[in-house]
Structure 1
Amino acid sequence: MKEILQKLMNGEISSEEAEKMLKTMQIRELEDFAKIDTGRDVRTGVPEAIFAEGKDDDELVKIVLGFADKGHVIVTRLEKDRYSLIKDELKVLEDQGLELDYNERARIMVVRDHEIEKNGKIGIITAGTSDIPVAEEARIIAEEAGCEVLTSYDVGVAGIHRLFGHIRRMLEKDVKVIIVVAGMEGALPSVVAGLVDVPVVGVPTSVGYGVGEGGFTALYAMLQSCAPGIAVMNIDNGFGAGVFAVTIVKQICKP
């Protein structure tokens, strides 16, 4: 980008040519199945994330390798058996000095070439242990985008006395937003939002019996919450919660 702008300042290219070069430099085509957005991290502050579901293994490997020069990419919804099948093909990245991390619970693989500098804090709370996979997805996304994350898991309304000390700790640590992940009846975000003065991001999970199965009861409960200040993500969307929370923190913590 600097090179293009320098050529424009030197009169070597026209403004129209510079505009075209800036637009095309942000898209890299991989055969006929993918167009890599190489400028997403600059625009949004969040690294490019590749959704693994629906892609065959060969396509997924080619897309990940296509990001190698960026030095930072996240692969979401990558099951352990799929990771085991493709990890040998990705060892070439380690030969290039890149680090590969895989979190089985969150189903996320991260490729990075540097330590992530942290700025701003996010809290993540789950109602139950079964909600942790979605919370872990949110945690990894937030940390890879440059936020420090404090977690408190299994502190839901079935034992409400477990909750208050964890909320106090998060507020004392100056978290700027709290992500609350809950299935079943999805009541926990309303409880938390009624106790804190920071934004709350509710994430319904597909954990529950009967009418709660699939997460819709939790989703409807969060959308209908009488406690103000709640933003609600889609069912099991830990990724979206992480990105939204990071966006809030980055606006608050701008230098």
Structure 2
Amino acid sequence: MSPDNLKEILQGIQAGKISPDEALEKLKTLPFENLGFAHLDHHRQLRTGIPEVIYCEGKSKEQLHTIIHKMSQAGATVLGTRLSPESYQAISDSLPENAVYDDLSRTLVINKNPESSYQGKICILTAGTSDIGVAEEAAITAEIYGSRVQRIFDVGVAGIHRLFNHIDEIRTARVLIVAAGMDGALASVVGGLVSCPVIALPTSVGYGTSFGGLSALLAMLNSCAPGIGVVNIDNGFGAACLAHRINIADPITKSQK
């Protein structure tokens, strides 16, 4: 969309010829920014409610620098996932002062809005301490989008009494993310105790026959407990996006059906 096209829309709103809703539909199709090696979708949030996120793994120092600079320049909150400590060190000197890197979750955040915008709560559980890195990727992502997050870590089935000690808090959540490796059993246990949606997040934690999280993934997919959805192995970001959408969704009333 050219500046003249955009100006025409704005003038149409001013003159009352175009409604705000009609203008919003037009603006949702605004073009991407072509960097040659990347097409930045600055207006994804208009269409989906979730802005574009930088998957940092596999990108060069120069590519990361350019993408981060362009997205930050646009004024949006910037989230980078899977940013290794080595890659962070390589670009750290070029980052703005408000950039925050978390080496546990391997996330980079710039221009974060610190305020939670929604009343509903996402509760994130881990089976073990080794699952926290993946869980933190989910927690940081959900918080950036404006969801309120509660963390309850290391409550796996090897000591199930630890989970029951938090059950009242867990039941106040609108949606749960349960991160577990090894046998992945925690998601099924939690699914049998709560009425809200449960997002099972398999992690790659475990010994040989866990097959890098495959055993947890298959166990969660085959859960007997109803109301469980499953995301990919170690995909804390994907779990958070789904949880956030559930958290902000308005309940459907009988009059809307």
Q: Secondary structure of 1:139's match? A: helix
1:190 aligns with 2:213: no
Structure 1 residue 28: Cα displacement: 1.0
Q: C-alpha offsets along residues 138-158 of structure 1, whole Å, 9 cap, x if unaligned?
A: 000000010110111110000
With the length of structure 2 as denominator, give the TM-score of the two structures: 0.86
Distance in 2, matches of 1:26 and 1:197, equals: 42
Unaligned runs of 5+ in 1: none
Q: 1:44 aligns with which of 34, 42, 48?
A: 48
C-alpha deviation, 1:84, in angstroms? 1.1
Q: Distance in 2 between matches of 1:227 and 1:22?
A: 43
> CA offset at residue 247 of structure 1?
0.6
How far does the alpha carbon of each residue in 1:77-133 deviate from its partner, in whole angstroms, 9 at most, with x for none? 00112111101012xx33xxxx21111100000011643333121000000011110
8 Å contact kept, 2:122–2:150: yes
Question: How far has the Cα of 1:39 moved from its partner?
Answer: 1.0
Mapped pair 1:72 → 2:77:
yes
- For the structure 1 residues 88 and 195, does the alpha-carbon distance in structure 2 shift closer, same or farther, using more than 3 Å as the test? same
What corresponds to 1:166 in structure 2? Answer: 166
Stretches of structure 2 that go unaligned for 5 or more consecutive residues are 253-257
Deviation readout 1:33-73 (Å, 9 max, x if unpaired): 01111112232222321000111010011001011222311
CA separation in 2, counterparts of 1:110 and 1:165?
Answer: 33
Which stretch has the larger CA shift, 20-29 or 57-66? Answer: 20-29
Query: Mapping of 1:1-255 within 5 angstroms?
Result: 3-9=7-13, 10=15, 22=27, 25-30=30-35, 32-68=36-72, 69-90=74-95, 93-94=96-97, 99-112=98-111, 114-119=113-118, 120-171=120-171, 174-252=172-250
User: SS in structure 1 opposite 2:245?
Assistant: helix
User: CA, structure 1 residues 22+41, in 2 after alignment: closer, same or farther (shift >3 Å)?
Assistant: closer
Give 3-state SS (helix, strand or coil) of 1:180's partner. strand
| Alignment: residue pair count | 241
Letter in 1 for 2:143: E
Which one-letter code corresponds to 1:142 in the other structure? A
Separation in structure 2 between the aligned mates of residue 247 and residue 57 of structure 1, nearest angstrom: 32
Return 176-185 or 66-75, whichever deviates more. Answer: 66-75
Percent identity reads 48
- Taking structure 1 as the reference length, what is the TM-score of the superposition? 0.87
Pair 243,81 (structure 1): closer, same or farther in 2 beyond 3 Å: same
Distance in 2 (CA, whole Å) between partners of 1:132 and 1:122 is 16
